[in-house]
């Protein structure tokens, strides 16, 4: 074995809670090593130990890099040796250029003055390596998420990276951008750069990883060598969650709860224009309906208009020149503001739970009741005991794993944060719940629990709309799948007739007809 990294017997505790227990982990030169496990398994903690976020002395064990034991005091020490971590939340400054972002910490200079010509030249060279043809002076805010991810990698290359750590790099990317990023990692492998890939997308792990290490409850529970032969996803899942998952999705019985058939939401002639370019239509005269007790999926490529459609319905949170009619339970609904949309019985779980769905510094209790303060108030004053009772009830019902309802939400795993967001909207007692990418960045065990909650909501007579970029997810949990492309619905399939191939054909047929 030609190891560039060895982590030996790493243990780390937080106020008596063991986050890592005697974990050993090795990475070979020019290897893509996948690190997988449920949220809270210890993956991020292990990488923070490696990168110096948790300095030497705050953990037990040893880090050996390039044949020598290292004692990193901070992230600057690890980066000096070429260990670079790219977090799921990108560390870019939107209103600075690509070049400024790449060299913000250490720009090339002559006699103390930044050499802008050299900055421009080196930026172009780095962008070429990651497959970007944008100009170095392009503002980061003008790039899509996929291209921003490539800028982060270019930034890492500027630091002479030898070991690249990627934490959920494709969580916000579409399938095309995800594939391009994985191809880039394969190119780095050929150049001798080692990578550690943390992801919940097991199909990506199976495709690109040379070896896999599985963590569970802070311990190493499995090591798999993909070079010896294909590794089944079920094997990885079983190691992660310590139980068999014969079915990835709960069995669906759409007649178990309320009687299917009654239309609970009906949208007619809905049109929406871009908020900054009022002459540009984004959603164009669409009709859409959901029946009581039905789970309806909305499929489509990135930019199809799915999120824009959902947000425009929910209190006109997105768009201008919005027109059309919405009926809830057969009656016209006033959705002109978020407050009125909530009062009418609509709820929207955003795809970006950390930025738009939660107050991360507030506790579970405050977040659960946030959208319905009237439900825990008397004479416009919050009743602390009533609020505690409500939050504790949802903690048990939704199986939220937390020390107490007074724990800050920012300290919870992604899956538990998502359960808090769901609890917040369930407390408003909605008739229709829109879920936008409800399992993004969540491990397979937590996904299953979210799927069960979605099914329970439908069985209770709610109308549920699921927007997801993962077609297997839509096929696994929905009763019906509507396909959106370029701001219009182009197909509507009952679950029994839907396949990934039929969905993609519907999209591509529409694409071919465009002028």
Tell me the pLDDT band of 1, cut-offs 50, 70 and 90: low
Asked whether residue 202 carries a pLDDT value surpassing 90, the answer given is: no
CA dist 436 and 426 (Å) reads 15
Q: Mapping DSSP to helix (H, G, I), strand (E, B) and coil, where does residue 148 land?
A: helix
- pLDDT tens-digit readout, 229-255: 888 877 887 888 765 555 678 887 654
Sheet hosting strand 194-198, strand order edge to edge: 83-86, 163-167, 194-198, 32-36, 211-216, 219-225
Q: For residue 418, is it left (φ>0), alpha (ψ between -120 and 50) or beta?
A: alpha
pLDDT at 275 over 80: yes
What pTM was estimated for this model as a whole? 0.65
Is the Cβ–Cβ distance between 36 and 240 less than 8 Å? yes
Question: Average pLDDT of 341-346?
Answer: 94
Distances, alpha carbon 330 to alpha carbons 118, 121, 325, 334, 342, in Å: 65, 62, 11, 13, 17
Do residues 314 and 343 make contact, with C-beta atoms less than 8 angstroms apart?
A: no
Q: What is the pLDDT of residue 254?
A: 55
Sign of CA dihedral 101, 103, 106, 112: negative
Per residue in 298-319, pLDDT tens? 998 777 899 999 999 999 999 9
Length reported for the chain: 515
> CB neighbours (10 Å) of residue 276?
7
pLDDT, one tens digit per residue, over 89-110 is: 778 888 899 999 988 877 888 8
H or E stretch including 368? Answer: helix 364-368
pLDDT digits (tens, 9 = 90+) for 133-154: 889 999 988 887 778 888 888 8
The percent of residues in the chain predicted with pLDDT above 90, rounded, is 46
Distance of CA 341 to the CA centre of its chain: 26
Q: In this structure, are strands 432-436 and 32-36 parallel, antiparallel, or unpaired?
A: unpaired
Distance CA 8, CA 284 (A): 58
Q: Check residue 260 and give its pLDDT.
A: 58
What local confidence, expressed as pLDDT, does residue 510 receive?
52
Q: Which domains does the chain have, with CATH numbers?
A: 3-241 (3.40.50.300), 247-345+430-515 (3.40.50.300), 358-429 (no CATH)
User: Three-class SS of residue 264?
Assistant: strand
3-state secondary structure of 311: helix
The pLDDT assigned to 244 comes to 55
Q: What is the pLDDT of residues 432-471, one digit of tens each?
A: 999 998 887 777 777 888 898 899 899 999 999 999 988 8
Q: What's the whole-number mean pLDDT along residues 360-383?
A: 91
Cα 61 from Cα 45, distance rounded (Å):
14
- SS3 call for 385: helix
CA distance 17 to 15: 6
Secondary structure letter of residue 18 according to DSSP: E
Core vs surface per residue 74-93: b (16+ CB within 10 A) or e: ebebbbebbbbbbbbebebe
Report the pLDDT value the prediction gives residue 144, as an integer from 0 to 100: 78
């Amino acid at each position: 074995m030609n190891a560039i990294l060895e982590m030996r017997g790493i243990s780390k505790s937080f106020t008596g809670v063991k986050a890592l227990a005697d974990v050993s982990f090795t990475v070979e030169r020019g290897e893509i090593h996948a690190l997988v496990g449920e949220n809270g398994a210890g993956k991020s903690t292990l990488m923070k130990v490696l990168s110096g976020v948790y300095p030497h002395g705050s953990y037990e064990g040893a880090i050996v890099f390039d044949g020598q034991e290292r004692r990193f005091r901070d992230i600057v020490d690890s980066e000096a040796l070429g260990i670079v971590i790219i977090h799921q939340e990108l560390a870019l400054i939107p209103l600075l250029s690509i070049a400024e972002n790449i060299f913000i910490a250490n720009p090339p200079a002559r006699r103390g003055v930044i050499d802008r010509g050299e900055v421009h030249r080196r930026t172009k060279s780095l962008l070429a390596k990651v497959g970007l043809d944008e100009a170095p002076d392009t503002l980061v805010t003008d790039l899509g998420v996929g291209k921003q991810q490539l800028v982060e990698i270019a930034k890492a290359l500027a630091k002479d990276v030898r070991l690249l750590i990627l934490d959920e790099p494709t969580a916000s990317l579409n399938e095309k951008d995800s594939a391009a990023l994985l191809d880039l990692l394969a190119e780095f492998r050929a150049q001798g750069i080692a990578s550690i890939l943390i992801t919940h997308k097991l199909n990506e792990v199976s495709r690109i990883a040379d070896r896999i290490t599985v963590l569970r409850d802070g311990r190493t529970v499995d090591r798999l060598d993909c070079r010896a032969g294909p590794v089944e996803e079920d094997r990885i899942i079983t190691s992660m969650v310590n139980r068999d998952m014969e079915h990835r999705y709960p069995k669906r019985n759409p007649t178990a709860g309320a009687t299917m058939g009654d239309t609970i939401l009906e949208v007619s002639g809905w049109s929406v224009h871009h908020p900054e370019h009022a002459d540009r239509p984004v959603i164009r005269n669409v009709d859409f309906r959901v029946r009581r007790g039905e789970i309806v999926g909305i499929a489509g490529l990135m930019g199809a208009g799915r999120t824009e459609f959902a947000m425009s319905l929910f209190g006109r949170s997105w768009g201008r020149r919005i027109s059309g009619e919405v009926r809830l339970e057969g009656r016209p609904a006033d959705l002109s503001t978020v407050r009125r949309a909530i009062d009418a019985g609509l709820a929207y779980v955003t795809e970006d739970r950390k930025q738009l769905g939660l107050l991360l510094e507030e506790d579970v209790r405050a977040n659960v009741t946030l959208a319905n303060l009237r439900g825990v108030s008397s004479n416009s004053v919050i009743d602390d005991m009533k609020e505690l009772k409500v939050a504790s009830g949802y903690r048990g019902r939704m199986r939220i794993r937390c020390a107490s309802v007074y724990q800050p939400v920012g300290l919870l795993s992604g899956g538990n944060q998502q359960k808090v967001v769901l609890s917040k909207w369930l407390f408003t007692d909605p008739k229709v719940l829109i879920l936008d990418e409800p399992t993004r960045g969540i491990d397979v065990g937590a996904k299953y629990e979210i799927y069960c909650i979605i099914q329970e909501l439908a069985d209770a007579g709610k109308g549920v709309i699921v927007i997801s970029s993962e077609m297997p997810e839509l096929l696994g949990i929905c009763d019906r799948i509507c396909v959106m492309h370029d701001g219009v619905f182009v197909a509507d399939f009952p679950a029994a007739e839907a396949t990934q191939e039929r969905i993609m054909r519907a999209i591509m047929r529409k694409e071919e007809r465009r002028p």
